[in-house]
Amino acid sequence: MRLLRIEVKSFKPFRDLVLPSDDEDLPDGLILIRGLNSTGKSSLFEAILWALWGARAVGLTNDELIPFSSSFCKVVLEFEVAGTRYKLDRSYDPANKMQVLLYFEKEHSWKRMADKSMTVERTLEGILNLELDQALNTLLVRQGEVARIAYASPSDLRKQLVAIYNVDLLDKMTNHLQNLESNISARLAARESVFIRPEVLQEMVEEGKERVTRLGDEVGEKNIEVEKADELLGSLPNPDDLKAIHDLRQEIKTKEDEHDRSVKARDKELKSAGLVDSDPRIVKAKLKSLEKEDLRLEEEREELRVKKSDIDSSIGRVTLQINEAKANAESVQKDKTCPICFRILDEEEMTKLLEEYQQIMDENSKKLSRLEKEKAVIPAEMKRLETRQRTISTTMGAVERITEHQKEVDAAQKRAEKAASKLAAVLEKMDVDDIELLLKKHDSKSVLDLQLKINKFQSDLDSLKRECQRLKRMLDDEKAKIKEYEGKEASMKEMEAEIASLKSMDEHTKYVRRKLVSGFIADYVFQKRLIGIIRSATNQYVSSFTSNQYTAIDLEPTPAKGKAGPGLVLRIWDDRDKANKKTSQLSYGDRTAISLGLRLGISRTMSSIRPLKDSPATSPRVRSVLLDEPLGGLDRNRRMAVVQNLIGDESFEQIFLITHTDIQGWEGVPVIEVKKSGSVSTAILSRSSDA
């Protein structure tokens, strides 16, 4: 397969890309893809793989391939296989989902071959002669894959080769045989768990018959006990009637207690009211007398309030007169003038006027003293009246409550009489005159004690009946088992033969898996087929990439260790030191160069070998390879050696090499320059470039 042309629209960082931009096809041989990190070099490979096989080939969902600024993605890829030109047109948008068309060129026009995803995939397998997983391992050397080979453990290296060459068929056979073993073991265990030898069945039948005889005797004895218990229980009083007697006696006691409490409450109120009888007429007369007295006391309190108000007014007037006389006297003494007409007074007039003022003050002081004495006795009288009114109020409350308490007394008495009437009716129904005689007859201390005895008899009877039923069920079960055992003898003989057959099949399956399949895949496929093919295809790369220091590799099988399965150890001949070395003994650069040579040798062999009979009958038609950043661990000289070797490598029709490192010796090699501005990437093909 040769890649001829690629058109990319809205795929990851590429918005509208056509390679090459002229009318010619992509060139043969080595093509460098160059650019800084994160510019979209690997996305170009992903566009090619997505066009061929869809999202499975890139490990992303279709929605993840669409840039944020777009609503769809589209890649058109033209390629050539065995002289025929093909075109794949794959597009995706969330609304219409995947659309894919496969064409082939005939007489300078495109003819449709397939237009459904599954149909396109099957048609493409027929064109390329290999399936998706093997095609990816043939076409693509992923970023970091060379390093994984260089540092792989023996078991991991073997697993990588199994995946690349698609020879996991025998591993699948082993898994199938293991599943078959599990299935046989489960079937065998299921049959052995229910298998019973015929002679054992006969013994079980005889033992069952003995148990049937014993259980029949026990059932008969239990039936006799049930009859006696039924007869005894029938001679005892009805438990419901006894319960009614017990409940009614309790109710009568409760009602009598309620009556007593109501009487005590009523008598307490009578005492508080000063009465000895709750006769309604007496209660009414007492209440009327108290109301009359309370009204009289309220009138007396009002009279005292009025009197106090009058005294306060008089005290105010007298005090004002005293203060005025005192102020006038002080003014006369000070100014020697009349405080009324402001005339100047002589000594005699002034003396006479002062005497008049003094007389006014003396008379009013006596009057003030008398008024204050009259006022002082009012609070005590008011308190006496208030105290008496509170007593009357309390007494009136007690009098008013007497009637309610009397109603409660009467109601409690009626409830007690009603309960007593019910008890009499129950005793009449039981034809019992005296409860005590009934208790003595049945040797019981109380109705509750007798009730408990009857309940115990009933419980014992129920237990006997349940035990009898249980024994009957056991008897029926034993009879059913005897019948079942007697009918199993023929089926057990058939099962015995089936168990022997399953055991033989289990032994045979284990032998095939352990001896044939596991031995064949380790000895034949890897040691006698693949290792020799890989060795011859890889040595030329290893020698060229290391300037002839390392001239040969070998893959040495190793047995399984612990949980790790069988593996392969990579050994390298160091021509300078004349010694075989493991990869762990090499420098990082040497290890990377050798691993790259091994990986290219593997891709080279994929187009020409059939490891197993079930491998494709026709050689795969993929002779191109996509190398994603394989040179990162190499120094300048090693990079130059790799590029020079790939330039002259005729094992592949095309080699696409992604790199972001400077390379010497690639003058004249076509270059796809990838650049990025903001979030958009572009790519331009230069068919030759100078160093």
- Mean of the pLDDT values across residues 115-129? 89
Question: Could you give the CA distance from residue 7 to residue 598 in angstroms, rounded to a whole number?
Answer: 33
Q: How far is CA 484 from CA 29, 95, 208, in A?
A: 82, 65, 11
**Confidence category of residue 534, pLDDT binned at 50, 70, 90:** confident
Question: Could you give the CA distance from residue 347 to residue 335 in angstroms, rounded to a whole number?
Answer: 12
What is the reported pLDDT for 612?
A: 42
Q: What is the per-residue pLDDT across 405-436, written as a single tens digit (0 to 9) for each?
A: 878 888 888 888 888 888 788 777 777 777 77
| Encoded tokens for 556 | 């040495």
User: 201: exposed, middle or buried (C-beta count within 10 Å: 0-12, 13-18, 19+)?
Assistant: middle
Q: Which amino acid is at 172?
A: K
| Encoded tokens for 281 | 């007429």
What is the reported pLDDT for 3?
A: 95
How much is the CA Rg of the chain, to the nearest whole Å? 61
Q: How far is CA 137 from CA 553, 607, 624, in A?
A: 21, 11, 11
Task: State CA 92 to chain mean position distance.
Answer: 36
Q: Which amino acid is at 493?
A: K
- Say whether pLDDT at 71 is over 80: yes
- Mean of the pLDDT values across residues 383-388? 89
- Segments of 53-146 assigned E as strands: 73-81, 84-93, 97-106, 109-114, 140-141
- Say whether pLDDT at 101 is over 90: yes
SS (H, E, C) 487-533: HHHHHHHHHHHHHHHHHHHHHHHHHHHHHHHHHHHHHHHHHHHHHHH
- Say whether pLDDT at 440 is over 90: no
- Mean of the pLDDT values across residues 657-664? 75
Report the first-to-last Cα separation within the chain, whole angstroms.
29
- Mean of the pLDDT values across residues 462-466? 85
| Encoded tokens for 251 | 């109710």
- Mean of the pLDDT values across residues 650-666? 79
- Say whether pLDDT at 63 is over 90: yes
Closest CA to 40 of 73, 15, 5: 15
What H or E segment, with its residue span, contains residue 17? strand 14-19
- CA torsion, ordered 466, 470, 471, 472, to nearest 10 deg: 100
CA angle (616 as vertex; 552, 515 as ends), nearest 5: 70
What are the beta bridge partners of residue 464?
none
**Most confident of the ranges 3-7, 296-300, 402-406:** 3-7
All domains of the chain, ordered by start, with CATH?
A: 1-129+670-691 (3.40.50.300), 243-429 (1.10.287.510)
Look at the block and give the residue holding tokens 């006691």.
253
Task: List Cβ neighbours of 143 (8 Å cut-off, separation of 6 or more).
Answer: 42, 628, 629, 658
What is the reported pLDDT for 525?
A: 55
| Encoded tokens for 209 | 């018959």
Look at the block and give the residue holding tokens 């105010």.
316
Q: How many Cβ atoms from other residues are within 10 Å of residue 407's Cβ?
A: 12
SS (H, E, C) 619-634: CCCCCEEEEECCCCCC
Task: List Cβ neighbours of 629 (8 Å cut-off, separation of 6 or more).
Answer: 41, 42, 143, 144, 658, 659, 660
Percent of the chain with pLDDT over 90: 21
Closest CA to 242 of 557, 453, 34, 515: 453
Question: Could you give the CA distance from residue 19 to residue 77 in angstroms, rounded to a whole number?
Answer: 10
| Encoded tokens for 144 | 């970091």
3-state helix, strand, coil in the chain (%, to 5): 65, 15, 20
Are 46 and 626 contacting, i.e. CB atoms less than 8 angstroms apart? no
Q: What are phi and psi of 102, to 5 degrees?
A: -120, 125
SS3 358: helix
Q: DSSP characters for 366-377?
A: HHHHHHHHHHHT
User: 298: exposed, middle or buried (C-beta count within 10 Å: 0-12, 13-18, 19+)?
Assistant: exposed
- Say whether pLDDT at 614 is over 50: no
Q: What is the per-residue pLDDT across 148-176, written as a single tens digit (0 to 9) for each?
A: 776 777 777 777 776 666 555 556 656 66
- Say whether pLDDT at 539 is over 70: yes
**Confidence category of residue 251, pLDDT binned at 50, 70, 90:** confident
Task: List Cβ neighbours of 278 (8 Å cut-off, separation of 6 or more).
Answer: 266, 270, 402, 403, 405, 406
List the strands of the sheet with 579-582, edge to edge: 550-558, 567-574, 579-582
Lowest mean per-residue pLDDT among 173-187, 204-218, 516-530: 516-530
- Say whether pLDDT at 672 is over 50: yes
- Say whether pLDDT at 121 is over 50: yes
Percent of the chain with pLDDT over 70: 90
pTM greater than 0.75 (yes/no): no
Q: What is the per-residue pLDDT across 295-330, written as a single tens digit (0 to 9) for each?
A: 988 898 899 899 999 999 999 999 999 999 898 888
- Mean of the pLDDT values across residues 488-496? 77
Look at the block and give the residue holding tokens 């015995």.
496
Q: What is the per-residue pLDDT across 20-29, written as a single tens digit (0 to 9) for each?
A: 988 899 999 9
